[in-house]
Structure 1
């Protein structure tokens, strides 16, 4: 049961419409993806990197649909934990799901922080540890300032980072780079090529993480049952198109070996296709990665808030500051965890951990929806309804990708 003391504290404020929600979702996804991971994906899949993004997007689409239904059935923060509790009636499993979601937010933020530092060090000659502390502390302050302020800033960042990708695409078109040929190139039916694409899709899957964060700001949406599913669908569509085309540009313009070895892979691509200094794209990449860190930290703090309000975590973590309308203690806790992890673990390992943990949560979410359907649980409130085969396909695809990652 929710803790009555948590119910007495101020609630989150509904200040987000569809445009800001969509920019929020795209901003998390794009910043975490192509700017940071294109080199790692190309290193595994080679010239077939675009297919890894396509595969990851297909897997993600099933889960997006499941989230769309569940987030409109149960429009609360700490959504994943609420879905699991409603389906299985287990507080232990619900709490474990919520904690795993928090871990994903922390690990993902740490991963992207390291990606941001790779670009930032092209301009600032400071030790990595100092930069990590400064970046995370600054973004934690923004997250604590207010949800509208955070999401407006994230929206501005999103416009900048999408603009950066469009600059790369336009530059490639202007020099007649044969990206159409790369996009049309089918992978050969060979174990080596297919396994490389499969593992790269696990890394590329990390690039699509973000849409689910929308489920955890549902209590701050003006019209959650209408706008959250739409924002999720738009996030997946826009991100997929951008990823596939930019991946094709990257592997056409630069050798996969050079991409994999670069700490700032898109800057390298921009220099090759435009023949000018990559500083502009590096600045945009910094903005993109900062955007993702801000959004993931915000999401993780909201999950802590939601779990505290449900009585699964100490009630003090669910306290909302009267002036800012944000959970300050939860935000500070997330920032400290991000700093510690970013200072101690490698980038690729963090990306793998994030993908596997996220797949586990997505599998539980799909299973929860299947179980609710099996039990015939209905909702008195209007909600999105998807065919039963969709969560089944989502569950199966998540389990297959988990197995592929563990057996690699």
Structure 2
């Protein structure tokens, strides 16, 4: 008599286009736009808003490459799978997967400390204690289940986006704006102006980092061939519109000298607002940072799970209980590392290098697609882009990566 071996529980395909888009917006929109407008304005002045458009155009090339690769290989630890398929080197795939997971861990650690700092201002409790609380609560939500985790993240994302829309609405209603005229924000076709825009776009790029995390939940997406490309492009378009509207508003309302030195530029829009409005926006900023912790946890744990599921890390890290259908051991490992980092290491320098880690991964991912396109194509259906897309993706990623050291 034949016996059938019970299958190990796998991740649940539960993410639809709206949920995946909200997940993408949640991991992309957040701390970046909430803190970067001032820094970009310090470099590009009135042209800072246009730098977000330039960054979006650069990121869109790699996003299209991700859309094809994620539908070719709809698995967790997507970047590692892409690099292994393209370069046929297992060790390189493991390095890429670990780099992606580390970028998420570092980002989540830095954001958790930021969230705790905002909470400290409201509660007076110690930042280390609040950091442990934030990481622990977000870890429990991540363990709960992918649908529940992404639903929580989706609700927070809606609040976060509503906060940006509120900034735009409130700012555009200000009677006496103190910033740049809107007509001065389009850069002229001059070398000096374009140089400033490009330099600021390196910072603006950081605000778009995160969309690639959508590839790492591909194993939990319904109908990935249709859903993933649509969700990736929707995420980038919506994020770009929000960034452009928010940056134009802040540049229009806030005095340039004040804006350029602020680490919380969006709050400056409410300088003359009632206290309840200021506190309400501060609460939204806290929610935005907490959301970043949760989503980075989800991403990093799925990368670790994916590597373990393919035998490239200890098999125990691929454990998925039937009850939660989430990678519990991998998630606990990620939460533990984040707790250690937040309590023992200066995150600032590491966080600055996160973008360079991501750009390095972008180069390898685009190169992998170029190599795959040179091979005989598989008969299976998947989303396709022309070969010049990953070629341009490699070039622009190397350019940004190199410029980061200047």
Q: Contact 1:36–1:112 (CA<8 Å) still a contact in 2?
A: no
Output one character per residue of 1:80-111: Cα deviation in whole Å (capped at 9) or x when no partner: 00011111110011111111111111122123
Q: What's 1:336 paired with?
A: 336
Instruction: Give the aligned length.
Output: 397
- The separation in 2 between residues aligned to 1:107 and 1:195, in whole angstroms, is 30
- Residues 367/383 of structure 1: CA separation in 2 closer, same or farther (3 Å cut): same
Q: Contact 1:369–1:391 (CA<8 Å) still a contact in 2?
A: yes
- Residues 396/386 of structure 1: CA separation in 2 closer, same or farther (3 Å cut): same
- The separation in 1 between residues aligned to 2:334 and 2:303, in whole angstroms, is 11
Q: What's 1:4 paired with?
A: none
Structure 2 alignment gaps of length 5 or more:
1-5
**RMSD of the alignment, in Å?**
2.2
**Which structure 2 residues correspond to residues 263-342 of structure 1 after superposition, within 5 A?**
263-272=263-272, 277-342=277-342
Deviation of 1:8 after TM superposition, in Å, equals 4.7
Q: What's 2:360 paired with?
A: 360
Deviation of 1:327 after TM superposition, in Å, equals 1.1
**Which structure 2 residues correspond to residues 376-391 of structure 1 after superposition, within 5 A?**
376-391=375-390
Deviation of 1:276 after TM superposition, in Å, equals 6.6
Q: Contact 2:49–2:244 (CA<8 Å) still a contact in 1?
A: yes
- The separation in 1 between residues aligned to 2:289 and 2:378, in whole angstroms, is 38
**Which structure 2 residues correspond to residues 98-109 of structure 1 after superposition, within 5 A?**
98-109=97-108
Q: Contact 2:50–2:186 (CA<8 Å) still a contact in 1?
A: no
- The separation in 1 between residues aligned to 2:274 and 2:396, in whole angstroms, is 39
Q: Contact 2:167–2:246 (CA<8 Å) still a contact in 1?
A: yes
Secondary structure in 1 aligned to 2:191?
coil
Structure 1 alignment gaps of length 5 or more:
1-6
Q: Contact 1:32–1:206 (CA<8 Å) still a contact in 2?
A: no
Q: What's 2:373 paired with?
A: 373
Output one character per residue of 1:211-251: Cα deviation in whole Å (capped at 9) or x when no partner: 11111111111111110111000000000111112112222
- Residues 44/136 of structure 1: CA separation in 2 closer, same or farther (3 Å cut): farther
Output one character per residue of 1:294-349: Cα deviation in whole Å (capped at 9) or x when no partner: 111101000000000011101011111221111112112112222333342254x3
Q: Contact 2:17–2:227 (CA<8 Å) still a contact in 1?
A: yes
More displaced stretch, 36-45 vs 92-101: 36-45
Q: What's 2:402 paired with?
A: 403
Q: What's 1:96 paired with?
A: 95
Deviation of 1:380 after TM superposition, in Å, equals 2.3
Aligned with 1:189 (options 182, 191, 196): 191
Output one character per residue of 1:183-220: Cα deviation in whole Å (capped at 9) or x when no partner: 43448532xx6555434322321211221111111111
- Residues 390/273 of structure 1: CA separation in 2 closer, same or farther (3 Å cut): farther
Deviation of 1:260 after TM superposition, in Å, equals 4.9
Q: What's 1:53 paired with?
A: 52
- Residues 141/73 of structure 1: CA separation in 2 closer, same or farther (3 Å cut): same
Deviation of 1:128 after TM superposition, in Å, equals 2.1
Q: Larger C-alpha radius of gyration, 1 or 2?
A: 2
1:345 aligns with 2:346: yes
Q: Contact 1:179–1:249 (CA<8 Å) still a contact in 2?
A: no
**Which structure 2 residues correspond to residues 58-73 of structure 1 after superposition, within 5 A?**
58-73=57-72
Deviation of 1:285 after TM superposition, in Å, equals 1.3
More displaced stretch, 116-125 vs 281-290: 116-125
Q: Contact 1:42–1:260 (CA<8 Å) still a contact in 2?
A: yes
Q: Contact 2:182–2:252 (CA<8 Å) still a contact in 1?
A: no
